C-alpha cells in the first residue's frame, strides 16, 4: 500500500499548474492525504471532487482560503465500506485540521498542525492542539486500533531536521516546547518512521519561498509519518519526494504491507 502526504499550499493552485495531475498519474497512491487545501468543496473542479479513480473527501476551514485538509482513496484499493471522520472529540476543528479514514481494523489520520506564529494566542493554541491530538490518538491506540498518522507537524524535532538550527533557536517550529512535544509523542510509543529508517540522513520537506531556499536546500523536515512498533514491522519504504514541485513542501511517501 502506497500512502502519500503532501502539504500542497493551495490545492487549486497546484492543480492549475498541472503539478497535481502529473503527480497523481506518476505516483498512483492508494491513499493520498492533503494539507492546506485552502478551498471550500464548492470551489473545486470535477477533477478534485469527482475523479474516476478516487473517492475524494475534504475538511475545509470556515475561513475562506485558509488551512483545510483532504484525502483521496483509490477505488482499486478501497471498497466503499470505509468511514471518514473529521475533527476530534472536545475540539472545535473549525480550521479543518484533522481528517481520519477508518477502514477495517485500521485508522489513518491526516493532520495539518497549527503554525502558531501569528500571535501569542496562536502559539498557545498550537500547544493545546498538540496535546489534544496526542491524547486523542493515544486513546485510539489503547482501544486496540492499528494507526498511522501523518501530515505537516510544523516542527523540526532535532538539529538534524533543519539546515540552520543555531540561527533558529527559539523560533517558531523549533522552540523547546514544540520539540519536547515530539519527545512526548515518542515516549507514548509512536515512531517517527523516516528518522527510525534513516537515523542520520539530512533531508527536508519544506523550504521558504521568500528566499529561494529550495534551490540552496536550506530547509526543514516538518512533515512526518508516525506509527507504532507493530506496524513498523510491515514497512517497505519511506521517502521524501524532493523533486516534486508545486508547493513549498514536498510530498512524503510511505509504502507498507498492511492490506
Please state, in angstroms and rounded to a whole number, the distance separating the CA atoms of residues 14 and 28. 17
Reduced to 3 states (helix: H, G, I; strand: E, B; else coil), residue 248 is: coil
pLDDT at 212: 87
pLDDT at 80: 85
Catalytic residue among 30, 93, 107, 152: 152
pLDDT tens, residue order, the chain (259 aa): 999 999 999 999 999 999 999 999 999 999 999 999 999 999 999 999 999 999 999 999 999 999 999 999 999 999 889 999 999 999 999 999 999 999 999 999 999 999 999 999 999 999 999 999 999 999 999 999 999 999 999 999 999 999 999 999 999 999 999 999 999 999 999 999 999 999 999 999 999 988 889 999 999 999 999 999 999 999 999 999 999 999 999 999 999 999 7
Give the residue from 40, 18, 35 showing the smallest Cα distance to 71. Answer: 35
Grid cell locating 95 = 480550521
pLDDT at 210: 85
Domains and CATH numbers, the chain: 2-256 (3.60.10.10)
Give the residue from 135, 147, 140, 111 showing the smallest Cα distance to 33. Answer: 111
Neighbours of 237 (CB within 10 A): 11
pLDDT at 252: 98
Q: Please, which residues have CB within 8 angstroms of residue 154's CB and are 6 or more apart in sequence?
A: 113, 114, 115, 116, 126, 173, 178, 222
Task: Let me know how long the chain is.
Answer: 259
Residue 106: strand pairing partners: 103, 146
Q: Please, which residues have CB within 8 angstroms of residue 251's CB and are 6 or more apart in sequence?
A: 4, 5, 6, 23, 27, 240, 241, 244
Whether 152 is catalytic is yes
Residues 254, 4 contacting (CB under 8 angstroms) = yes
Model confidence, pTM:
0.97
Please state, in angstroms and rounded to a whole number, the distance separating the CA atoms of residues 236 and 79. 23
Neighbours of 201 (CB within 10 A): 11
Amino acid at each position: 500500500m502506497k500512502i502519500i502526504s503532501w502539504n500542497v499550499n493551495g490545492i487549486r493552485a497546484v492543480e492549475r499548474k498541472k503539478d497535481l495531475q502529473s503527480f497523481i498519474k506518476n505516483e498512483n497512491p492508494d491513499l493520498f492525504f492533503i494539507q492546506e487545501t485552502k478551498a471550500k468543496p464548492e470551489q473545486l473542479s470535477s477533477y478534485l471532487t469527482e475523479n474516476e479513480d478516487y473517492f475524494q473527501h475534504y475538511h475545509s476551514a470556515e475561513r475562506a482560503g485558509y488551512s483545510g485538509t483532504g484525502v483521496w482513496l483509490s477505488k482499486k484499493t478501497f471498497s466503499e465500506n470505509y468511514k471518514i471522520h473529521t475533527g476530534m472529540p472536545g475540539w472545535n476543528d473549525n480550521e479543518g485540521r484533522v481528517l481520519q479514514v477508518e477502514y477495517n481494523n485500521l485508522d489513518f489520520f491526516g493532520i495539518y498542525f497549527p503554525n502558531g506564529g501569528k500571535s501569542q494566542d496562536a502559539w498557545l493554541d498550537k500547544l493545546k492542539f498538540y496535546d489534544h491530538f496526542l491524547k486523542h490518538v493515544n486513546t485510539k491506540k489503547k482501544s486496540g486500533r492499528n494507526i498511522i498518522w501523518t501530515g505537516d507537524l510544523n516542527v523540526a524535532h532535532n538539529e538534524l531536521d533543519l539546515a540552520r538550527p543555531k540561527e533558529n533557536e527559539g523560533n517558531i517550529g523549533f522552540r523547546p516546547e514544540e520539540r519536547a512535544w515530539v519527545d512526548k509523542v515518542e515516549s507514548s510509543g509512536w515512531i517517527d518512521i523516516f528518522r527510525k529508517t534513516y537515523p542520520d540522513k539530512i533531508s527536508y520537506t519544506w523550504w521558504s519561498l521568500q528566499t529561494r531556499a529550495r534551490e540552496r536546500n536550506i530547509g526543514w523536515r516538518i512533515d512526518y509519518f508516525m506509527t507504532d512498533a507493530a506496524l513498523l514491522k510491515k514497512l517497505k519504504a519511506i521517502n521524501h519526494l524532493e523533486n516534486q514541485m508545486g508547493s513549498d513542501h514536498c510530498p512524503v511517501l510511505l509504502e507498507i504491507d498492511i492490506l
